[in-house]
Structure 1
Amino acid sequence: MSSDDAYAAFLDKANEDPNAGRSKPEGKDSKAAQSKFSAHAKQVPQKLVTAAKDRFYSSESDEPFIPVCFDLGKAKSLPNEDDFISITDSEHSADNITILDPVDWDKQGEYKPLIDELREQSKGNDVRVYRVQVDSTRVEYWVVSTHDGNLLGFKAKAIES
């Protein structure tokens, strides 16, 4: 075997999928998250789905905005940190949540079309941004409002190191 053949074989081996032949683990977290959002997807106003299409939150990783809708339960207005965790079934503690004004969160006006559409769909109700610190570098931003007993809006993931 020539050195070219050996090198080509090495490259082929290096480019193989390391998970080839393995079944993907079905983690309860990914299934739970997927089912939670699909269970609420029917309630999300179509205009929010359209507004989020091809919109990304810019950070070290550009992630799409995902339209969300949750039942507020007994709450009548935007929730505090503890209620937010309960409503969204978040696995994070209230200590990891910071509530922001949309103007402070979007200083450049980059996400104004999303915020405006959310205000329209919520019939002019207040809009808040919940910043959830997932770990030392991962963050979730929830841009939400209330309407007809629902917490609705957008969720985006971000990397901030």
Structure 2
Amino acid sequence: MSSDDAYAAFLDKANEDPNAGRATTNGANGVNGHSDTNGVNGVNSAHSKQVPERLVTAAKDQFYVSDSDEPWVPVSFDIGQATSLPNEDDFIKAAGLKQSADNITILDPVDWDSQGQYKPLIDELRLESQGNDVRVYRVQIDSTRVEYWLVSQLDGNLLGYKAKAIES
């Protein structure tokens, strides 16, 4: 085999769809066919809910800019009878996260997005949650990996978006 053939085979393999051969459904594989091992709508929770269409549409082609530029994934899940956004401990339980509360920082969206880069997502979330408070939960996964959860609540549901980030 010539080196050109080997290189062509390498390129073909590199350009294959990583999700080829996997079933694509709304729910277990996240939103818009994106595979996510964290469960329904990217949330590892038995209380996951269907994401409102407005949030799915707003997140289309939106990315959190970091060393990895990951897509915003719409999320929605049950938080019981809560009428306000959860504290760090309650957020961990509701989202089914494995991190401790020490790894979570709650941020104000205005301070977090001082350049207005994510304003369209924040605005859609405020509309969908009928003007309720919006909050950012920064979850430190390890020394460089972070998840940002941009969320609000409505009628016992936590809804919004999450994005993975690499911050080196």
TM (norm. structure 2) is 0.76
Whether 1:87 aligns to 2:99 is no
Following superposition, the deviation at residue 142 of structure 1 comes to 0.2
Whether 1:34 aligns to 2:39 is yes
Following superposition, the deviation at residue 79 of structure 1 comes to 0.4
Note the aligned Cα RMSD (angstroms): 2.6
Following superposition, the deviation at residue 85 of structure 1 comes to 0.3
Alignment partners' CA distance in 1, 2:36 and 2:52: 23
- Which one is further off, 106-115 or 68-77? 68-77
- What is the identity, as a one-letter code, of the residue corresponding to 1:104? D
1:46-94 deviation line (CA, Å, top 9, x unaligned)? 1111111111111111111111001012432100000000000011111
Question: What does residue 57 of structure 2 align with?
Answer: 50
Aligned partner (choices 102, 108, 129) of residue 101 of structure 1: 108
List gaps (5 residues or longer) in structure 2.
Answer: 15-20, 22-34
Alignment partners' CA distance in 1, 2:10 and 2:61: 34
Q: Which has the larger radius of gyration?
A: 1
What count of residue pairs does the alignment treat as equivalent? 146
Whether 1:130 aligns to 2:134 is no
- What is the identity, as a one-letter code, of the residue corresponding to 1:108? Q
TM (norm. structure 1) is 0.79
Following superposition, the deviation at residue 8 of structure 1 comes to 4.7
1:104–1:11 distance in 2 versus 1, CA, 3 Å: same
Question: What does residue 117 of structure 1 align with?
Answer: 124
Whether 1:151 aligns to 2:158 is yes
1:103-137 deviation line (CA, Å, top 9, x unaligned)? 11101001001101111111111100000001111
Following superposition, the deviation at residue 37 of structure 1 comes to 3.8
Alignment partners' CA distance in 2, 1:75 and 1:81: 14
Alignment partners' CA distance in 1, 2:83 and 2:109: 20
Whether 1:73 aligns to 2:88 is no
List gaps (5 residues or longer) in structure 1.
Answer: 19-23, 25-29
- Identical amino acids, percent of aligned pairs: 62
Question: What does residue 27 of structure 1 align with?
Answer: none
